[in-house]
Chains A and B, each alone.
Chain A
Amino acid sequence: MKPPSETDAVDATVENPVAGIDQSAGNFSYDVNYEFDAGTGLTENTVRYISSVKKEADWLLEFRLKALKTFLEKPLPTHWATKDLENINFDKIRYYLAQGQKPKRTWDEVPDDIKKTFERLGIPEQERKFLAGVEAQFDSEAAYSNIKEAVAKQGVIFVNSTEGLREHPELFRKWFGKVIPTGDNKFSALNSAVFSGGSFIYVPPGVKVSHPLQAYFRINAENFGQFERTLIICDEGSEVVYMEGCTAPKFSTSTLHSAVVELVALKGAKIQYITVQNWAPNVYNLVTKRGLAMEDAEIKWIDCNIGSRLTMKYPGVVLKGERARGEVISIALANDGQHQDTGAKMIHAANNTTSNVISKSISVGQGRATYRGQVHIPKNLKGCKNNTECDALLINTNSRTDTYPAITVRGDKNATQHEASVSKVSEDMIFYMQQRGLTEAQAMSLAVNGFINDLARQFPMEYSVELKRLIDLEMEGSVG
């Protein structure tokens, strides 16, 4: 294995004069000698290779092969989504890269190059400070995985998906692929065929995990596809907060990130899933996320999308049990050359279920932010309510925003309301702040942070601070 070097690191230490933080914290990569490499392109052999490397059971290989067939059969959804999807060259992507690592339980055991990556991104400090457990995935496999002893003693399971499948098949198989079936869409089929990594969490009945669990996803290699698969099951009356962060270095070639995340909140359980994504502008981020909320359960997606070339992500909740509640809080920032195509799905499937969607987007330069939503209340349900609010902020003359909600209501015992607005930062506000000595960029950052402030407050403090800094960075040089 080649020793780690930083020769490939690009612009790693440029300071941001506004926020005083590292402008491109995630923008570095290392040469890594991968022990396992499925090569480029996707065939049945690729799938068989991944499955054999991971020493999987026959049923799982069959599951993967069936998914591959579905993926190959399904067309790209360009009849409603952007044609930019056609620029993904599936034959040039590497679908599995690993050093043969098994997730380590202490930082000392993690290989130096990978450890350096995560140390640079500040993962160990965060773990020490406020996490109940952390999992760090490097390309296709988890490199480090740890859960605090006290939490593990309560019976909470927090491992990567490979380990989950192997060690806890009775829990895993019951819900695996049930919330998001393989054929749900082309990219869920792709993930089902080649998935690797991701988290498996099980929280036993009544256990309330006091501190968040965190996963960190890192793409290091060029032309790479990361396909993590996450399954979180909260048993009756339990609660968990899960956070994920993502980064990838800037490469001139495109990188694909296509995750599938399934959440199951059993009776009275609560799951909060927080994503702060800051992908490099070459990443196609095509993710399917959905939760199943049983009686009195609550699933809340808090989603912050910054970076990437194209993000298509519509977290959803199937409100399956009476009085279940679903919520999506979403912030998206689209800079030049980026398209944040995000939204939410709320499928009401039981009486007295409620859902709430609040989405705020900011388009900078020629960035494009799209909200796409679906609210579905079928016949014969009663007492279901949905509220959706979408606000878009346009910074520059040619910024672009779109809103495409689809709301279906059957019957007269339910209610939905949807509101959306588009506006720009008020010139008076900027003038006022400049009068008081702020630069135009500082004033704009302040205005944008004010726009999302009510949502940002819902993030844990550390993330809220990070979010503010990321927005400061994106706003820099964006005005004028």
Chain B
Amino acid sequence: MSFPVPTSASAAVVGSFTEAAFAAHLARVAHLPAWWLDRKKAAYARFAALPMPKRTDEGWRFSNFAALTLDGFSLPEPVKLADVHHTAMGITGAGTLALANHRVVVSEPIAAEFAQKGVIFASLQDALLKHGELVRAHLLTQPSKLGSEKFAALHEAFLEDGAFVYVPKHTEVAVPFGVFHYAANAGTALFPHTLVVAEENAKVTVADFFRSANAGERQFICGGNDLFASHGAQITYVAMQDWSRETLALQFNATIARRDARVLSLNLHAGARQARHESFSQLQAPGAHSEMLALTIAHDTQEFDQRTLQIHQAPNTSSNLLYKNALLDRAKTIFSGLIVVDPDAQKTDAYQSNRNLMLSDDAEAHSLPGLEIQANDVRCTHGATSARIPAEQEFYLQSRGIRKAQADELLVFGFFEEVLGKLENQELHDRLSEIIRAKFKE
């Protein structure tokens, strides 16, 4: 093998992701461009060399480490469309792509009107072969900064396929692209990725759906997405995470917004046993805006760990973060967010808010909202609250014959509406609501 060989000491911590596993993976992607394979080899070397995060690391404060094991997983085996019970969930979009265990199982062609304008919607492997330079310029170009450097390297090393959306200058795609990532079979390790590139003044909406083929299967997911908005571009990205309740899921987002660009990302966290989501937004030029939204509906013993970073690198940029968590049963959420304003980023307007709705006496919420401000002419604020539904509101609903469970559901929807209402697309709004509603039926 030509890639750097890790030392035996560090190899001991890589769990299932041994050199042999990596060699097997490389064999599966050998047809892809050499530059990409070289990057994967370098990523594997990083993964092997980096230590596992420790409980005492600030970036992992309050996380449950007992569940964080990389043992017992294997690379995905091919599955058929029928095995994953694919449904487009009513999304009538500009194009649909479904990947099951990293293989494309559905590829609805992009509407002709968009194809003619140069819009690309393809699997990542297709894009690597046909639009290599475009992918190379934007795929995984931002370093991981929120504690998961080792897992980000693992993601790059084993990333096999995903989705690529490219919208050229001055092109608007009014309807969303739908991307479905399915994991099938117990013990499968999956590394999904979605790359969205919007050139100058382009506008696009992309929806990612993350689902397991069957309930009860334990999988390891280490996914990522890159959102790149060039000057004046607008990206709306919605991710609906609904993995099986046994799954361990990590997801890394990197957003870049250039001059006057606007990026809205909304992440719904519903599935997995333990899920960690890291979101890193860079506001690189004046006028850039990033809207970072998340809804978490946590029940049973689920743990959702959310780490965010808003970096303002230029003057006159703005960002708004709103993470709302509803906690039932013995669920646990962690929110750790940081707004960083660089010394030159005067006139920054940044906000960060984490709201936790406690619906159970056993639920546990941790909030660590942070600010690091190095310029003085700014407006930066943050807020965090943790509280229950006021007793009088519950009483009001119950006194009108609504049972407690139903009342909770109604109140959670009321709580979430502030975020859901920011979505302009009704279909996506409905899909999100459907997944949230389903949680109350479990």
A binding-site residues for B, Cβ under 8 Å: 79-80, 379-380, 392, 394-424
Closest to A395 in B: B376
Which of chain A's residues have a CB closer than 8 A to the CB of B367? 405-408, 416, 418
Given the contacts A379-B361, A418-B383, A392 and B373 also touching, CB distance less than 8 Å: yes
In the complex the two chains form, is A404's CB within 8 Å of B370's CB?
Answer: yes
Docked Cα-Cα span, A396 to B365, in Å, equals 37
Is B356 positioned at the interface, with any CB of A under 8 Å from its CB? Answer: yes
Q: Is the CB of B343 within 8 A of A79?
A: no
Residues of B within 8 Å of A413, CB to CB, are 361, 388
A406 to B334, CA, bound (A): 10
Quote the shortest CB–CB distance from A391 to chain B (angstroms).
9
A79 close to B381 (CB less than 8 A): no
Report Cα–Cα, A25/B387, bound state, in Å.
48
From B370, which residue of chain A is reached at the shortest CB distance? A404
Interface string of B367-384 (1 = CB under 8 A from A): 111111111111111111
6 A-B Cβ contacts within 8 A? A394-B373, A395-B376, A408-B365, A416-B387, A418-B367, A424-B376
Q: For A379, give the chain B residue with the smallest CB separation.
A: B362
Q: When the two chains form their complex, are residues B376 and A419 in contact, meaning their CB atoms are under 8 A apart?
A: no
Report B-chain residues with C-beta under 8 Å of the C-beta of A399.
374, 376
Interface hit among B7-15, B54-62, B247-255, B429-437: B54-62
- Residue among A379, A403, A405, A415 making CB contact with B388, cutoff 8 Å: A415
Cβ of B359 within 8 Å of any chain A Cβ, yes or no, is yes
A415 to B355, CA, bound (A): 11
Judge whether B383 and A407 touch: CB under 8 Å. Answer: no
Q: In the assembled complex, which residues on chain A have CB atoms less than 8 Å from the CB atom of B377?
A: 397, 424
Instruction: Please determine whether B366 and A407 come into contact, CB atoms closer than 8 angstroms.
Output: yes
B388–A422 touching, CB < 8 Å: no
Residue of A nearest to B353 (CB): A419
Instruction: Across the interface, name the chain A residue whose C-beta is closest to B386.
Output: A409
- List the B side residues contacting A405 at CB < 8 Å: 367-370, 384
Write out the residue numbers on chain A whose beta carbons fall within 8 Å of the beta carbon of B409.
Answer: none
Task: Report the minimal beta-carbon distance from A315 to chain B, rounded to whole angstroms.
Answer: 20
Residue B360 interfacial (CB < 8 Å): yes
In the bound complex, residues from chain B placing their C-beta under 8 Å from that of A394 are 373, 375-376, 378
Query: Are A409 and B358 touching (Cβ within 8 A)?
Result: yes
B364 within 8 A of A: yes
Chain B, interface size category, equals 35 or more
B376 touching A403, Cβ below 8 Å: no
Name which residue of chain B comes closest to A402, CB basis.
B372
Which residues on B are within 8 Å of A, measured CB to CB? Answer: 56-58, 61-62, 343, 346, 356, 358-388
Are B375 and A397 in contact (CB-based, < 8 A)? yes
A421 adjacent to B381 (CB under 8 Å): yes
Given A406-B368, A410-B364, are A415 and B385 also a contact pair (CB < 8 Å)?
yes
- Nearest first, the 6 A-B pairs at minimum CB distance are A394-B376, A415-B387, A409-B386, A412-B358, A412-B388, A403-B371
A416 to B385, CA, bound (A): 5
Inter-chain residue pair count (beta carbon < 8 A): 130
* Chain B positions within 8 Å of A421 at CB level: 379-381
B376 adjacent to A396 (CB under 8 Å) = yes
**Alpha-carbon gap, A396 to B358, bound state (A):** 41
Say which residue of B58, B356, B369 sits within 8 Å of A80 (CB atoms).
B58
Beyond A400-B372, A404-B368, A408-B364, 4 additional pairs, beta carbon < 8 A = A408-B365, A408-B367, A412-B358, A419-B382
| Complexed CA–CA distance, A417 and B384 (Å) | 6
Which of these, B62, B361, B378, B383, contacts A411 with CB under 8 Å? B361
Taking a contact as CB atoms under 8 Å apart, the answer to whether B376 and A418 are in contact is: no
Question: Provided the pairs A409-B358, A412-B360 are in contact, do residues A418 and B384 lie with their beta carbons within 8 angstroms?
Answer: yes
Most buried by B among A404, A405, A412: A412
Q: Residue of B at shortest CB range from A397? A: B376
Write out the residue numbers on chain A whose beta carbons fall within 8 Å of the beta carbon of B366. Answer: 406-408
Asked if B343 and A398 sit within 8 Å, CB to CB, the answer is yes
Min Cβ gap A378→B in Å is: 9
**In the assembled complex, how far is the CB of residue A153 from the closest CB belonging to chain B, in whole angstroms?**
49
A424 touching B378 in the complex, CB below 8 Å, given contacts A402-B370, A403-B370: yes
Query: Known: A394-B376, A415-B388, A418-B385. Is A402-B361 also a contact (CB below 8 A)?
Result: no
**Does the CB pair A422–B379 fall under 8 Å?**
yes
B386: which of A395, A402, A416, A419 is its contact (CB, 8 Å)? A416
Within the complex, the shortest CB–CB distance from B312 to chain A, in Å, comes to: 12
A394 CA / B369 CA spacing, docked (Å): 19
Name which residue of chain A comes closest to B328, CB basis: A412
Tell me the complex Cα distance, A401–B356, Å. Answer: 26
A421 CA to B388 CA, complexed, in Å: 25
B230 CB → nearest A CB, Å: 30
Give the docked Cα–Cα distance between A398 and B371 (Å): 15
Closest to B377 in A: A424
Q: How far is the CB of B379 from chain A (nearest CB, A)?
A: 7
Chain B residues, CB < 8 A from A396: 376
Selected contact of A422 from candidates B56, B358, B381, CB within 8 Å = B381
> Which residues of B are found within 8 Å of A423, using beta-carbon distances?
378-379
- Report the nearest B residue to A407, measured CB to CB: B367
Among the listed B58, B343, B373, B381, which residue makes an inter-chain contact with A401, where contact means beta carbons less than 8 Å apart?
Answer: B373
Cα distance A392–B371 in the bound complex, in angstroms: 10
Complex Cα–Cα for A410 and B366 (A): 9
In the complex, chain B residues whose CB is within 8 Å of the CB of A419:
381-383
Central interface residue in B356, B375, B386, by most chain A CB within 10 Å: B386
CA distance A314 to B276 in the complex (A): 30
- What residues of chain A lie closer than 8 Å to B56, measured between beta carbons? 79
The answer for the CA separation of A66 and B315 in the assembled complex, in Å, is 54
Contact status B356-A409, CB under 8 Å:
yes
A256 to B382, CA, bound (A): 34
- Give the residues in chain A near B374, CB-CB below 8 Å: 398-400
Cα distance, A368 to B426, chains bound together (Å): 46
Least Cβ distance of A335 to chain B in Å? 14
Contact residues in B for A79 (Cβ distance below 8 Å) = 56-58
Of the candidates A380, A414, A415, A418, the one whose C-beta lies within 8 Å of that of B369 is A418
Closest to A409 in B: B386
Q: Which residue of A lies closest to B348 (CB)?
A: A422
Q: Which residue of B lies closest to A386 (CB)?
A: B386
Residue numbers in A under 8 Å from B364 (CB-CB): 379, 408-410
B376 contacts A380, CB within 8 Å?
A: no
B322 to chain A, nearest CB (A): 14
Q: Closest Cβ of chain A: how far from B162's Cβ, in Å? A: 35
User: Considering the chains assembled together, what is the distance between the CA atoms of A397 and B347 in angstroms?
Assistant: 11
**B257 CB to nearest A CB, Å:** 21
Known: A397-B375, A422-B371. A403 touches B387 (CB 8 A): no
When the two chains form their complex, are residues A401 and B361 in contact, meaning their CB atoms are under 8 A apart?
no
The residues of B that contact A406 with a CB separation of less than 8 Å are 61, 366-368
A408 to chain B, nearest CB (A): 5
Shortest A169–chain B CB gap in Å is 38
Contact status A412-B361, CB under 8 Å: yes
Which residues of the partner chain B approach A403 to less than 8 Å between Cβ atoms?
369-371, 382
A410 x B58 contact (CB < 8 A):
no
Kindly list chain B residues whose C-beta atoms are within 8 Å of the C-beta of A424.
376-378
Looking at A79, A405, A410, the one whose CB has the most chain B CB atoms below 10 A away is A410
Contacts of A80 in B (CB 8 A): 58
Shortest Cβ gap from B354 to chain A (Å): 9
- Closest beta carbon of chain B to A223's beta carbon, Å: 33
Q: Which of A399, A404, A414 has the most CB of B within 10 A?
A: A404
B304 to chain A, nearest CB (A): 15
Q: Tell me the smallest distance from the CB of B333 to a CB of chain A, in Å.
A: 10
Bound CA–CA A307/B66 (angstroms): 44
- Shortest C-beta distance, B253 to chain A (Å), equals 22
